[in-house]
Structure 1
């Protein structure tokens, strides 16, 4: 086991991370048990440490609050250790025996708990009262997250994958003969002597799990329909399985549905034909770049490598969750491409790019690998990073969002470092920035925000180094911190923004006019709303009156409310009128942000009664909440 000094030093370098969790631990509650479960389950983690009696200092004046030893009273030490051992023995489907020891710092006691990762055959560990899959927690970054049905495939290799199940109401006539011929063509180019090429169509489809035989009848699987199905059949049976290509006129996502897009195109078809169509559609729409060598710009085409685009598209098609009734979105901003597919990554962000693959759709993946449409298993992300680096472009970044069950690939259409970047970076010559810190500044200039995960990916650095880089940029008053713990992200300060005028970058694909409108007269707003830090200028008078009535209702509430449904309903009423930010809800309800989020907003999000204003970036600096199914 590592020493307490080493563990606290690591905490202060990286914050709570994958394998260390700090707890005040006044008692052994549900949160600690969830962490024990996640450390036991997470593949390749090797287990983790729980520090009881250590917490982050509550110092609002400190730029970087540190973890300090608060200690556990001596008369509670035995009770804490006994309760922990007892619950680890009885709480789960099998007993867990963590290693427990006590260390002292300045006379204060800390209980160090090391939880070892279970062997593959012993997983998953789960909380008995919750059962599978939700009781089998995983460790994702610094969070303990509930297991899902997709996670179960990691632990149970015999579990039938979704792509091998039969599609209800599908018929053999729904298979497109041209798609079978296309498969034979691609497979022959890879291996002309492949045995399955000698089979007739039915035998071929059975060999790759596209159809199943029951008795004398054949039934189409999801692999068969998705890979070989006709467009009418796909529209009839899987109407939301499509790819939406969206062109946005500015670098920011516009929430106004009437002014959101420059153009959209929705694409359907069998996966083998669809992948080619998507790549050509995006490729024809991309600008071409130039390479910066010495002091000259060498005139040769080094735009986004086609192979990188292919890998990103193929990744979305073969790893998306086909259980989700939502399309893949490919959003073309002026400065980047974002590919968002339903289904979080079954590998953690730290494991992305590592050898080996965890497949949600193993039979679809096998078809893509055997036809050479996808890289060798587990090597696609490494290949994308290498190719982007080869043409001096920003490496791709990846975001796996378990909460909203989606995975995002971002390809920044930016050459590092081009002539304009070098000129702009002269603003910071006196700051003695490293190359990594310069790349972070360019990334945040282009996207408006950055978190530790994205910064790690663009620089290929570890969490400790990245944290140090972000800390220095904040100390230099170039970045400001938003959010807390795993939701922490960084935005540009006014000092950094003031340098943006030094670059002349056209950020629009096509100009969008007619979007401005005069602000409504605010002088007539109800007096009981005048003190709120809320922009009401875009609301109609009826909505402002509704807000006033809700505010009156809030003002009459007792200080202590036992029925949480009262506040939940008020939040839903508020967010049905306009999107509300967290700080606005706290002002209205006169409650702490932690209390409002933990007891009301988070449950409403999980129940799909509330939604995000910016679902594509949960940590967006202007994130707000809106009522669904108004």
Structure 2
């Protein structure tokens, strides 16, 4: 439960009103309230505050407690409830909640206002902002408006709050702080006070205006003891499903994680590995069990699904589906770069802090090298190339189990040819008939088959000759975009 008394104590310590704090005695003029809610929401976004505050019953100059005689929730605008009228007049990205607080023996009204998201909050089709102690139209201050838009464009899901108003002990109950310290390779602090410093440095936990703590979405996603404790992100848990055959008609097993990504990552990897088909091989004098898929490739694809998902798409999260002949890893959100340029393009993520920490904890490869390693691992295991399918609100990566070259569909052969050319190119080499035969595990007798595949890839605009005038026997190829 939020400690509103402590919050008001902290707000009164501010020497003057700010762009995100407004004190009033008994001014409940509907239009004034609407303009101020709008201005405070925009002010909180501009100054990167987690909340704005509209307080009745406190004098704005001295901050003396005078109390208020009215109740916001009982007021009306004409025949309509004031709150409903305000929500109708404000833009859809405006949100607020009211609390009546018994403060030092007097009634104080407290309106908590969420910062603007995606675009400025408007009231009756106009945006407002606080300039000093005055509420002004935003368009009259173009420099402030430009700065606000810049802030709004750069606000991300990771920085938003998953849980408010927590005592230190409550943070410890909700987050696996010891896992964070262990993954950082640091000695465990003697108490929570020692650990909270590091969590705040990473913006996994924030100190609020009232002196209590808040857990960010990033902190909950990575370190939650139970994601169900955080209603806004509980649906972002990793889901693993195994099917009896190559369709989705017969589900054998389903497991949905309940812990943060860092806390649960190794368990998820072990669970997936236990469901995958494997085979025994003789390596020297030893008999070993090998998975049908390269562990590095699976690890990277799953980590990428966690890192690159679009958290703005609600109701769904990363899903790993295991079939006898393939694994499909799906995450919400379309890629930010062309899927054909995954290998050579500079990395780009919509969740930079999440990506940084996942890599710092060594749960995935260094920035920009993951897809290269996925493709190389599949090549070295002589598996078909990974397939990428992009949908309206998601992306699916499919890893295929081993199969004879003759059974690989033409589209997947062409994908393997193209990715092989990309890998060779970033290594400073070129695709040749010989290198592509080696990639598929074929002998020299298959040279003609590979030549036909290369010609088809050229016709499809996937690859091109490095030097078209070279003799056919010595021809080398590079990606079409190179």
The TM-score, its normalising length taken from structure 1, stands at 0.39
> Which protein is richer in strand relative to its size?
2
Larger Rg: 2
